Every structure is written in structure tokens, then in C-alpha cells.
Amino acid sequence: MSQRYITVADLNDWLTRELQMQPECEGSKLTMKYRLREPDPANGCNWSEATVRIGFGCDAGHVGAVAARIVDRARLQFNVLCEKCQELADAPVQTPALAEHLRPQTPVGSGTGYGLREFRTLEPYDPFRCIGEHGSCNARWLRVGSGASGFEWHLHQQD
């Protein structure tokens, strides 16, 4: 599965917009509920459930059924960023060379059991991956810039 990573705010906007486009759901709102620590083993989605607010005069049963279908679809399309990655998305220019919760996706050295045999320099295009201990989201990032004025982090979406 290859969900696209977005912020919680963007996901909530998307969910509510999709819901409000459906007939007889006007004024209703749909927002995600839980950011999962581990992705769903069935489909890799890292958030779960949603809260629906029924618009004035709308039928709760109808809106609920429509919302459930939208959530099913969204879980295959989107993953949400963890809190650390969310912070990085909000402030993508960082002075430290490395964001503490990101690691190079390709190891810079490889071990053979007798210590490191091979080393290579980290290239500017090497992707990093979020592997934070708690609730890491696995998002991939690219680091851009020389560092003179800080590095800029860009989300690197799976294709």
C-alpha cells in the first residue's frame, strides 16, 4: 500500500469536503479520531475511525453511512504525519543538519560482523525516514539546501 502522507488538518479538510459534496449531508463535518502507533496490518493506514457531526436537518443514519464509506476510501489514500513530522511540515527550515527523529533510509555504513567495511557519504538526494520510537509515521523526507541558512525538509511521497 502506498498512502500519501498529509497533515491531520489537511485530512480533516478532505474528509469534511468529501462529505459535504454528498446529497443531504450539507453542513455535516467529518474528522479523524485516532493516530495509530502502528499501521493497520491489513492496509498500512496509520489512523483510525472518525467523528461525524451531523448537519442541521440531516438524517443521522444517512450521513453516518455516507461518512463510513468516505472513511474507508480515505484510509486507503492517506496516512497522517506523526507529531514530530507534523512539526517539521509546519516549520520545514531547520538549522540542525539532521532532524532527530529521521534516519537515512539507506544505511551510510554497512556492517559485516567485524565492524564497518563500507562507507559512503550521504548524498543530498538520499531520502530519510521517520523512525521515531513512539508513534513514528514512516514518512520519507528529503533534505534540501547547503545548511548555510538551514536545511529545508520536503515530504517525499511514495509512488
**Calpha distance 86→139 (Å, rounded):** 10
Secondary structure class of 25 (helix, strand, coil): coil
82 binds Zn ion (CB under 5 A): yes
Q: Which is nearer to Zn ion, 6 or 139 (CB)?
A: 139
Phi, psi of 86, rounded to the nearest 5 degrees: -60, -45
Count residues near Zn ion (CB under 5 A): 5
Secondary structure class of 100 (helix, strand, coil): coil
Min. distance of Cβ 5 from Zn ion in angstroms? 8
Min. distance of Cβ 159 from Zn ion in angstroms? 19
Secondary structure class of 18 (helix, strand, coil): helix
Task: Decide: 7 and 159 in contact? Cβ < 8 Å.
Answer: no
**Calpha distance 37→5 (Å, rounded):** 15
Which x/- pattern over 3-42 shows residues binding Zn ion (rule: CB under 5 A)?
----------------------------------------
Min. distance of Cβ 98 from Zn ion in angstroms? 14
74 binds Zn ion (CB under 5 A): no
Instruction: Work out which of 25, 80, 85, 89 binds Zn ion, going by CB under 5 A.
Output: 85
**Calpha distance 20→67 (Å, rounded):** 10
Q: Which residues within the stretch 130-159 sit at the binding site for Zn ion (CB under 5 A)?
A: 130, 137, 139
Residues in contact with Zn ion by CB under 5 A are 82, 85, 130, 137, 139
